[in-house]
Structure 1
Amino acid sequence: MASFEIYGGKPLKGELIPQGAKNEALQVLCAPLLTAEKVTISNIPDIIDVNKLINLLQAMGVKVEKVETGTFIFQAKDIDLDYLKSEDFKKRAASLRGSIMIVGPLLARFGQGFIPKPGGDKIGRRRLDTHFEGFTALGAKFNYDAGEHFYSVEAKKLKGAYIHLDEASVTGTANVVMAAVMAEGTTTIYNAACEPYLQQLCKMLNSMGANITGIGSNMLHIKGVKTLGGCFHRILPDMIEIGSFIGLAAMTKSEITIKDVSWENLGIIPNVFRRLGIKLERRGDDIYIPAQESYEIDTFIDGSILTIADAPWPGFTPDLLSIILVVATQAKGSCLIHQKMFESRLFFVDKLIDMGAQIILCDPHRATVIGLDRKHALRGISMTSPDIRAGVSLLIAALSAEGKSVIHNIEQIDRGYQNIEYRLNNIGADIRRIG
């Protein structure tokens, strides 16, 4: 198990280029399963979760050709459907939550899809009901082997339907969309997720020959087509990494420019950081964050304590709440962090309290942060990363802290952040990978 050794308290300065979006990659990499033609995808992040999915696709029979760094050609001409029932498939797919995204395309093209209970972050319940309820609405038969924890769906022919999703699940919407693009007739999906990553998937599918309208809204209309073809698709920059870098700049009093952020796809993210008192400005398609000695948390109009909560897009993404919480520890003022979607995602705050932060964990979903206004710097400690976002939040805290910190289990960070220590060391950080 590898660890990071961090020597904090150093201001950083320079430019950072965000990687391709992890959450988009895990969706669009499965779309080539819908066609026998070649599909080229660029700006693919070189991270553990994405590489695991690429390896899984290869094991299934997808030909993968690397064109250059971050750009690959995929051709799913000869898929080995028998492999989907093998022990090797079960082992590979179970190690990656994103593996659930192969089910919709397989069902659409081959009439069957299989998946073991996927792995991923230990951040609370992440149910799959939305995916399979959507498939059954299209006419598929669902089976679950409780002993093997193995899911399967089968359908001789999918037929378009009106589907009102029980939650605006991004992966659930994406999976049902990919199942519906070749279904007979018209499918309407209401309460659909409308995140930029889902919009990207729909645009990619349309470029392959699908007929999807309502993109960007919570109601999608899909007219089924008989076949799909190849295309070229470029993945957006990762909004979660962009938000992480904004928080990093504030915590470490650093002057940082984040390049090519696709500003129009960031939604309210910049304004939420501004409500924490962080100065940032748009320069073309870049974000410039000046070095700040202090930043003050806003209040609501009536003077009551600011609450920052996650919500489906265009609300604030839950993946950045851990970053917001860490940044608030050194602000002037207080705020309430309300993590609605995952009941275990705030359980990393004990490490921040050990570092000297003033945080009250109200319950599994809420934490009150009393900002230190930099009067007391965080202190370096030894800690373990529980999940991707908490891991990078602890890394940001360690970079702002006095002295040496050690973060264990950094494989969690590697799952979502590409070469993070090299990129941050290039602008003045002191991070060493050990073990």
Structure 2
Amino acid sequence: MGTFEIRGGTSLKGELTPQGAKNEALQVLCAVLLTGEKVTISNLPDIIDVNKLINLLQVMGVKIEKVERGTYVFKASDIDLAYLDTEDFAKRAASLRGSIMIVGPLLARFGKGLIPKPGGDKIGRRRLDTHFEGFAKLGGKFNYNPKTFFYTVEAKKLVGTYIHLDEASVTGTANILMAAVLAKGETIIYNAACEPYLQQLCKMLNNMGAKITGIGSNKLYITGVKELKGCYHRVLPDMIEIGSFIGLAAMTKSEITIKDVAYPELGIIPNVFKKLGIQMELRGDDLYIPKQESYEVDTFIDGSILTISDAPWPGFTPDLLSIVLVTAIQAKGSVLIHQKMFESRLFFVDKLIDMGAQVILCDPHRAAVIGLNQQQPLRGISMTSPDIRAGVSLLIAALSAEGTSTIHNIEQIDRGYQDIDIRLNNLGADIRRL
């Protein structure tokens, strides 16, 4: 288990270029299974979760050529379906939650998709019903083996239909969408997720020959085609990493320029951080965060305490609530953080309290933060990262704290952030990887 040792209390200065979007990368990588032709994808982040999925595709029979760091050519012309019944497949696929999205492409192209119960962050209940209910409506026959923990869905022929999702699941929408593009006739997916990741997947599939309209809305129309061809696709910059850097700059009183942020794709993310009093300036497509000695939280019009909560896109992404929470620790004023979607995502607050933060965990979904207004620095402690976003939130807290902190289980951070220690050290941070 790896460890970061952080000496905090130092302001940072310089430029950062965000990595490719992790959540988009996992979707578009699964889409290469839909065609036997070459698919080139660039700006893939070099992180554990993405590399695990690339390795899984390779052992499934996808021919992979690495052009340069972040750019790969994939050719899924000879998939080894027998491998899916092996113990090695079960072990590899179970270690990565994003592996669930290979099921839709496999079902659409080969008539059978299967996956073991996937792993991932322990942030609460993350059911898979939405995925398999969608496949069933397209004509798939679902089976779950409680002894092997394997989910299987089979279909001789998929037929387009109307699907009203019971939740706007991003991975569920992506999975059903990838199955529907090769189904016979028209499919309508209502209450679909519409995150930029999903929009990017739709654009990639259309470039491959799919017929998808309604992109960017919660109602997708898919006219099935017989086959898809190859394409080139570039992954967007990671909006979660961009939000993390905004919070980092404020907490550490740093002057940071975030390069090439694809600002129109950030939605309300910048405005939420502005509500915490964080200043920023858009310079071309770069986001400049000036050094601030303090930042003051807005209140609602009637003077009541600001509440920041997550919601399906175009609402505020749940992946950034942990970052907002830790950033609010040194703000002037109070904030109520309401994590609606995952009941275990706030279970790192005890570490922040040990560091000196004024946070009240009201229940598994809500935390009240009373800002310290930079009058009292946090203190360094030893802690363990429970998930990707909490891990980076703890890293931000440690960089702002006086003294030395240690963060164990940093593999969680490495799952979602590429070379985070090296990139921050280049700005003046003091992070040692032990």
The TM-score range, normalised by the shorter chain, is: over 0.9
In 1: Cα distance, 2:219 partner to 2:86 partner? 37
Letter in 2 for 1:208: M
TM-score of the superposition, structure 2-length normalised?
1.00
In 2: Cα distance, 1:282 partner to 1:433 partner? 33
Q: Name the structure 1 match of 2:207.
A: 207
- Give the count of matched residue pairs: 434
Q: Name the structure 1 match of 2:146.
A: 146
In 1: Cα distance, 2:374 partner to 2:288 partner? 22
- Partner SS, residue 144 of structure 2: strand
1:27 maps to 2:27 = yes
**Superposed CA offset, 1:359-408 (max 9, x none):** 00000000000001111100000000000000000000000000000000
Letter in 1 for 2:356: G
Q: Name the structure 2 match of 1:426.
A: 426
In 1: Cα distance, 2:259 partner to 2:23 partner? 19
Q: Name the structure 2 match of 1:307.
A: 307
In 1: Cα distance, 2:312 partner to 2:336 partner? 19
**Superposed CA offset, 1:215-244 (max 9, x none):** 000000000000000000000000000000
1:53 maps to 2:59 = no
Deviation at 1:23, TM superposition (A): 0.2
Unaligned runs of 5+ in 2: none
**Superposed CA offset, 1:279-334 (max 9, x none):** 01111101000000000010000100000000000000000000000000000000
- Partner SS, residue 350 of structure 1: helix
Letter in 2 for 1:98: G
Equivalences for residues 310-321 of structure 1 within 5 A: 310-321=310-321
**Superposed CA offset, 1:146-193 (max 9, x none):** 111110000000000000000000000000000000100000000000
In 2: Cα distance, 1:389 partner to 1:147 partner? 32
RMSD (CA atoms) = 0.4
Letter in 2 for 1:261: V
Equivalences for residues 286-301 of structure 1 within 5 A: 286-301=286-301
- Partner SS, residue 405 of structure 2: strand
In 2: Cα distance, 1:268 partner to 1:83 partner? 43
In 2: Cα distance, 1:147 partner to 1:292 partner? 56
Q: Name the structure 2 match of 1:362.
A: 362
In 1: Cα distance, 2:237 partner to 2:148 partner? 37
1:326 maps to 2:331 = no
Letter in 2 for 1:23: N
- Partner SS, residue 395 of structure 2: helix
Q: Name the structure 1 match of 2:233.
A: 233
In 2: Cα distance, 1:213 partner to 1:370 partner? 45
Letter in 1 for 2:303: G
1:106 maps to 2:103 = no
- Partner SS, residue 56 of structure 1: helix
- Partner SS, residue 398 of structure 2: helix
Letter in 2 for 1:5: E
1:118 maps to 2:118 = yes
Deviation at 1:109, TM superposition (A): 0.2
- Partner SS, residue 347 of structure 1: coil
Q: Name the structure 2 match of 1:93.
A: 93
In 2: Cα distance, 1:261 partner to 1:375 partner? 32
- Partner SS, residue 59 of structure 2: helix
- Partner SS, residue 125 of structure 1: coil
Letter in 2 for 1:140: G
Q: Name the structure 1 match of 2:2.
A: 2
Deviation at 1:69, TM superposition (A): 1.2
Equivalences for residues 24-423 of structure 1 within 5 A: 24-423=24-423
- Partner SS, residue 132 of structure 2: helix
In 2: Cα distance, 1:148 partner to 1:367 partner? 38
- Report the identity percentage: 82
In 2: Cα distance, 1:354 partner to 1:23 partner? 32
In 2: Cα distance, 1:382 partner to 1:50 partner? 28
In 2: Cα distance, 1:347 partner to 1:336 partner? 15
In 2: Cα distance, 1:253 partner to 1:410 partner? 24
- Partner SS, residue 159 of structure 1: coil
Q: Name the structure 2 match of 1:18.
A: 18
In 1: Cα distance, 2:216 partner to 2:180 partner? 17
Deviation at 1:87, TM superposition (A): 0.5
In 1: Cα distance, 2:148 partner to 2:371 partner? 48
**Superposed CA offset, 1:23-78 (max 9, x none):** 00000001110000000000000000000000000010000100111100000000
In 1: Cα distance, 2:430 partner to 2:73 partner? 37
TM-score of the superposition, structure 1-length normalised?
1.00
- Partner SS, residue 30 of structure 1: helix
- Partner SS, residue 369 of structure 1: strand
